[in-house]
């Protein structure tokens, strides 16, 4: 059984492939992702683990999603297509995120564990839930779900 290739190694290999294929968009996105990972490693003071690399990539994807939302509001279809393409490339490297339903199930479990009864315990629930779901759920979705459950 061969050892599992890390996310960072996969990005580096795919960068070489994109260079050979002269795929400018893919090359650009992968280079930006690798640069963000290197910057995070410098800040961290050492090499990131898989979860750390995934977190950096999720942050990059979140930026693209925010930009896409802004471009949709500004009605800029020519730039929108570029951002959507970049997001699609980044998403190839991201772990599959939990669905809203799965996130709701996890949130209900944590709410029951901590005995939360209202919005006053939201911080406690969010802290527990985000550490449990690290890298597996979108923080915005988790926040919305917890708000709904605690205020409902």
CATH number at residue 135: 1.10.10.410
**How confident is the model at residue 151, as a pLDDT?**
86
User: Is residue 11 a part of any domain in this protein?
Assistant: yes
Q: Is residue 42's pLDDT more than 70?
A: yes
Q: With contact defined as beta carbons under 8 Å apart, do 53 and 7 qualify?
A: yes
CATH classification of the domain holding 44: 1.10.1510.10
Q: Is residue 3's pLDDT more than 60?
A: no
**How confident is the model at residue 71, as a pLDDT?**
92
Q: Is residue 43's pLDDT more than 90?
A: yes
Residues 59 and 78 both lie in one domain:
yes
Residues 57 and 118 both lie in one domain:
no
Residues 70 and 108 both lie in one domain:
no
Residues 119 and 72 both lie in one domain:
no
Summarize the confidence of residues 3-10 as an average pLDDT: 83
Total domains in the fold of the chain: 2
Q: With contact defined as beta carbons under 8 Å apart, do 139 and 107 qualify?
A: no
User: Is residue 85 a part of any domain in this protein?
Assistant: yes
Q: Is residue 79's pLDDT more than 50?
A: yes
Query: Residue 49: pLDDT band by 50, 70, 90 thresholds?
Result: confident
Summarize the confidence of residues 92-118 as an average pLDDT: 89
- Please report where in the chains the tokens 């996105």 appear, as a residue: 29
Structural domain of residue 19, as residue ranges?
A: 7-91
Give dist(CA 93, CA 88) in Å, integer: 9
Residues 84 and 114 both lie in one domain:
no
Q: Collapse the DSSP code of 1 into the 3-class scheme (helix H, G, I; strand E, B; otherwise coil) and give the result.
A: coil
Residues 87 and 121 both lie in one domain:
no
| Cα angle for residues 64, 126, 7 (degrees, 5° grid) | 45
Query: Residue 1: pLDDT band by 50, 70, 90 thresholds?
Result: very low
Which tokens in the block code for residue 122? 């939201």
1 or 32: which leads in pLDDT: 32
Question: What's the sign of the alpha-carbon dihedral 64, 66, 70, 72?
Answer: positive
Q: Is residue 124's pLDDT more than 80?
A: yes
User: Is residue 2 a part of any domain in this protein?
Assistant: no
Residues 43 and 78 both lie in one domain:
yes
Residues 69 and 104 both lie in one domain:
no
**How confident is the model at residue 58, as a pLDDT?**
87
């Amino acid at each position: 059984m061969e050892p599992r290739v890390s996310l960072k190694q996969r990005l580096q290999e795919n960068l070489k492939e994109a260079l050979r294929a002269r795929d400018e968009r893919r090359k650009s996105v992968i280079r930006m992702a690798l640069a963000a990972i290197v910057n995070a490693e410098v800040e961290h003071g050492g090499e990131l683990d898989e979860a750390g690399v995934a977190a950096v990539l999720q942050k990059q994807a979140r930026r693209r999603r925010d930009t896409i939302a802004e471009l949709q509001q500004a009605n800029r279809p020519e730039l929108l297509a570029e951002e959507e393409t970049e997001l699609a490339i980044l998403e190839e490297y991201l772990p599959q995120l939990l669905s809203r339903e799965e996130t709701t199930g996890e949130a209900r479990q944590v709410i029951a564990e901590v005995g939360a009864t209202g919005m006053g315990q939201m911080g406690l629930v969010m802290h527990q839930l985000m550490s449990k779901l690290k890298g597996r759920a979108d923080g915005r979705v988790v926040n919305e779900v917890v708000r709904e459950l605690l205020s409902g």
